[in-house]
Amino acid sequence: MAGELKRIKRHSYILNAILLFISMIYGAGGLRTTELRITPRVVQRGKNVTMSCLFPPHEYGVYSVKWYKGTQEFYRYSPLDSPQIRLLPVNGIKVDRLRSNETHVFLIRVGANLSGNYTCEAIHNSHAYPQYMASARLDVVAVGGLRATDLRISPPVVQRGNDTTLACLYELTDAPLYSVKWYRGRHEFYRYSPTENPTTKIFPFAGINVDLARSNQSQVVLTRVSFGLSGNFSCEVTADAPSFATSIVSNTMEVVALPPSLPVIQTDKHYYGPGDVLHANCTSGPSRPPADLVFLLNDIPHEADAHQVHPAPEGLFRSEIYSSIQLWPAHYERGAPILRCQAKIVDLYKDDAAVALYSGNSHPKIERVTSPGSAGSLQVCQFLLLLQIIVWANNT
């Protein structure tokens, strides 16, 4: 037992000598701060990785050194325990136990899911058990060259004021990531550069709010989007030296506003009978893009005589249609005819208002009727919508 302790002490003296030597190499104060070095920092999957923890030397050596991926401990070195090295199971991590020691951990054949934040924590063997911690990132990349494959915007059609996520999909090997730059049109608004501190940078652009907490090297989250953001977004990926190869992908986003209220029907008279001509207007609630309106009499669509789009506050539009419809006895066969005005914004929005056209000798009024299945619905068939909005935008 005494021999064991002596060995540990001798061992720690040798280690301290080594560490002091290293600290001399790195200059005065160079080892004041703890450092976790990962080599290589960006690695192809299936390769090995070496992690070394540099912490200040101490007369009585370390009590323990713990290693974490994220918050999960996967390796512990504690010289006073037997065995001195303990491996704790963390999904996907394979440690080469024979080569790993107090300061170095060897990971074998890393998988893509080992990318992330690693931490080493050294606790010294002294009265106060001082702790030293350092963290660093490991990125595991696929085999192949640099290739940005897609800029995914979800949702690509977003309601004004809502959030949207832009995800840049890319493959990068043979070199570490140098940067990912994000553009609205030609204006850069967000940059991720893993070698810089901080790793993320925001460039102000009117109307763009980046949620940093939800943004990283592969995605950026925009909050409270406004109409000005509709348009072309790009992400540009750059590989590190020596190639500095770049790859860029683009996609389109549209910001919309749905009508807050039902369309409103106005008729020129209170009562109608067979033989009368009905003059009616229908106006939609403010929206962007403007809603498409159509009249239906007893569920048969009627071509409008006129269709207008009026500007409304806050960059919105009100659609209006006008129709004159000849009423015949046939319209009254099943009671008062029902005039319906249906508002649609492609597949995003559909709602309608309806009135019953009573004749003077039955019920005394035009009445709003509730129609079955007229509740506002938001069915997102965004590809079609996008096409239609682009057509609309090009025509305005």
Ligand X SMILES: *[C@@H]1O[C@H](CO)[C@@H](O)[C@H](O)[C@H]1NC(C)=O
Write the interaction track for ligand X spanning residues 55-74; mark x where CB under 6 A is met and - where it is not: ----------------x---
Write the interaction track for ligand X spanning residues 335-374; mark x where CB under 6 A is met and - where it is not: ----------------------------------------
Q: Which of residues 272-311 bind ligand X (CB under 6 A)?
A: 279, 281
Which residues face 235 on adjacent strands?
182, 249
Does 104 engage in binding with ligand X (CB under 6 A)? yes
Q: Which is nearer to ligand X, 53 or 336 (CB)?
A: 53
Reading the block at residue 303, the tokens are 């071509």
Does 152 engage in binding with ligand X (CB under 6 A)? no
Reading the block at residue 173, the tokens are 């090997």
Distances (CA, A) of 271 to 258, 277, 279, 359: 33, 11, 12, 5
Does 149 engage in binding with ligand X (CB under 6 A)? no
Does 197 engage in binding with ligand X (CB under 6 A)? no
Q: Which is nearer to ligand X, 16 or 359 (CB)?
A: 16
Cis peptide before 260 (omega within 30 of 0): no
Instruction: From 100-108, 187-195, 201-209, 337-345, give the range in contact with ligand X by CB under 6 A.
Output: 100-108
Contact predicate 319/283, CB 8 Å: yes
Does 322 engage in binding with ligand X (CB under 6 A)? yes
Write the interaction track for ligand X spanning residues 6-25; mark x where CB under 6 A is met and - where it is not: ---------x----------
Instruction: From 145-153, 216-224, 290-298, 355-363, give the range in contact with ligand X by CB under 6 A.
Output: 216-224
Closest separation between CB of residue 225 and ligand X, Å?
Answer: 10
- Residue of 56, 92, 176, 315 interacting with ligand X (CB under 6 A): 92
Contact predicate 249/148, CB 8 Å: yes
Contact predicate 317/345, CB 8 Å: no
Instruction: From 122-130, 212-220, 359-367, 386-394, give the range in contact with ligand X by CB under 6 A.
Output: 212-220
Written as one string, the DSSP assignment of 5-43 is: HHHHHHHHHHHHHHHHHHHHHT-TTTTTS-EEEEESSEE
Distances (CA, A) of 98 to 10, 85, 106: 21, 10, 9
Structure letter (DSSP) for residue 386? H
CA–CA dist 369, 325 (Å, integer): 19
Instruction: From 141-149, 188-196, 209-217, 365-373, give the range in contact with ligand X by CB under 6 A.
Output: 209-217
Contact predicate 310/320, CB 8 Å: yes
Q: Which is nearer to ligand X, 218 or 359 (CB)?
A: 218
CA–CA dist 224, 214 (Å, integer): 14
Of the candidates 202, 198, 178, 177, which has an alpha carbon nearest to the alpha carbon of residue 188?
202
Distances (CA, A) of 321 to 268, 299, 318, 364, 370: 14, 17, 10, 26, 21
Does 226 engage in binding with ligand X (CB under 6 A)? no
Does 48 engage in binding with ligand X (CB under 6 A)? yes
Does 154 engage in binding with ligand X (CB under 6 A)? no
Reading the block at residue 381, the tokens are 């068939």
Does 234 engage in binding with ligand X (CB under 6 A)? yes
- Residue of 67, 102, 184, 345 interacting with ligand X (CB under 6 A): 102
Instruction: From 153-161, 337-345, 369-377, 388-396, give the range in contact with ligand X by CB under 6 A.
Output: 153-161
List of residues contacting ligand X (CB under 6 A): 15, 47-48, 71, 91-92, 96, 99, 101-104, 108, 111, 113, 117, 119, 135, 155, 158-159, 162, 186, 214, 216-219, 232, 234, 250, 266-268, 279, 281, 322
